[in-house]
Amino acid sequence: MNDLFDTANFQNSFTGIVVKMQTRHQSPVDYQFVIGDDKVSMNPLIGQEIRLSHQGVIRCLYCNKVITKSYGQGYCYDHLMQLASNDTCMMSPEKCHFAQGTCRDNRFAESVCNQGHYVYLANTSEVKVGITRNSQIPTRWMDQGAKQAMVIARVSTRHLAGLVEVIFKQYVSDKTNWRNMLKGEADLIDLAKVRDDCMDKAKEQIDGLQDQYGLVAIQMFNHGEVFELDFPVTQYPEKVTSLNLDKQPEIQGRLLGIKGQYLILDCGVINIRKYSGYELTLEY
């Protein structure tokens, strides 16, 4: 342990199972670190020294069993394989198993997949297309570290959202480049122009989907509000260095900011969502 760890004088300590940070849409985005039964306000800690430590305990978020390795951001292997929420079609909704008649859990499909979804464009470090439920707006965009976002379609099911997304990702990315997202503030982009350009190119394919499933099931928007978000970051890293609690069980540094689900420290960045199910200690 180096001198910095030896001399740090932390006044507060919280220990518990971690899940992704909670966010609140304000300027800048407000962050709560969820650890066990506690929620720690992180924005006031920016500029302060903090320490995260992991003693090796990981629990499945579904069954609470102690596990040696976490799968799918917080699950044991059995529940990775069993839960419909962990099925491959959650990442690729155009391959919806309910639509194919092979869903693991029809109750889950009815409560999640067969509900209205939105297709959106977001500006993280570049424009990307994505899908989300109405209840996750604007949470989804805050978790992705988006500077801007706008809804471009409303559809009746997750499956249809995936089909529309597949069409649009011919013209824009469907992934967030997290390293570029953490290098600095994204430049403002005319999302309406990007939307219009994509819709012009995709018109024939979108018309085909609407002919097949109906105009009510797939509603495209040629107008809409652009959400603008800003994040509590005082300094972006010159070089993005990813920190790993599995390899380095104690991480200590000055908190420079928070963006997406990443804590930006003066020694590197750490994705808190990656450690869902880990028992951690947070000190400051």
pLDDT per residue as tens digits for the range 47-76: 999 999 999 999 999 999 999 999 998 999
- Average pLDDT, rounded, for the chain: 95
* Digit-coded pLDDT (tens) for 147-194: 999 999 999 999 999 999 999 999 999 999 999 999 999 999 999 999
Model pLDDT, residue 246 = 96
Q: Are residues 218 and 132 in the same domain?
A: yes
Model pLDDT, residue 8 = 65
| Average confidence (pLDDT) over 125-154 | 96
Looking at the domain assignment, is residue 3 inside a domain? no
Number of domains in the chain: 2
Model pLDDT, residue 2 = 42
| Average confidence (pLDDT) over 96-105 | 89
pLDDT greater than 90 at residue 7: no
Q: Are residues 143 and 32 in the same domain?
A: no
Q: Are residues 151 and 198 in the same domain?
A: yes
Q: Are 169 and 92 within 8 A, CB to CB?
A: no
Can you point out the beta strands (E) in the chain? 13-17, 22-24, 30-35, 38-41, 49-59, 66-67, 117-123, 127-133, 148-155, 218-220, 227-228, 250-259, 262-265, 268-271, 278-283
Last residue of a domain, one of 227, 246, 265: 227
Looking at the domain assignment, is residue 5 inside a domain? no
Q: Are residues 132 and 41 in the same domain?
A: no
pLDDT confidence band for 3 (50 / 70 / 90): very low
Q: Are residues 217 and 247 in the same domain?
A: no
How many angstroms separate the CA atoms of 47 and 66, rounded?
A: 35
Looking at the domain assignment, is residue 151 inside a domain? yes
Domain coverage including residue 98: 85-227
Q: Are residues 164 and 70 in the same domain?
A: no
pLDDT greater than 50 at residue 41: yes
Model pLDDT, residue 98 = 87
Looking at the domain assignment, is residue 217 inside a domain? yes
Q: Are residues 156 and 257 in the same domain?
A: no
| Average confidence (pLDDT) over 116-125 | 97
Q: Are residues 211 and 103 in the same domain?
A: yes
| Average confidence (pLDDT) over 248-269 | 98
Q: Are residues 223 and 162 in the same domain?
A: yes
pLDDT confidence band for 4 (50 / 70 / 90): very low
Looking at the domain assignment, is residue 241 inside a domain? yes
pLDDT greater than 70 at residue 1: no
In sequence order, the 6+-apart residues with CB closer than 8 A to the CB of 3 are: none
Last residue of a domain, one of 209, 227, 245: 227
Q: Are residues 105 and 212 in the same domain?
A: yes
pLDDT greater than 70 at residue 6: no
pLDDT over 90 for what percent of the chain? Answer: 92
pLDDT greater than 90 at residue 143: yes
Q: Are residues 124 and 206 in the same domain?
A: yes
How many angstroms separate the CA atoms of 283 and 231, rounded?
A: 22
Looking at the domain assignment, is residue 48 inside a domain? yes
Looking at the domain assignment, is residue 122 inside a domain? yes
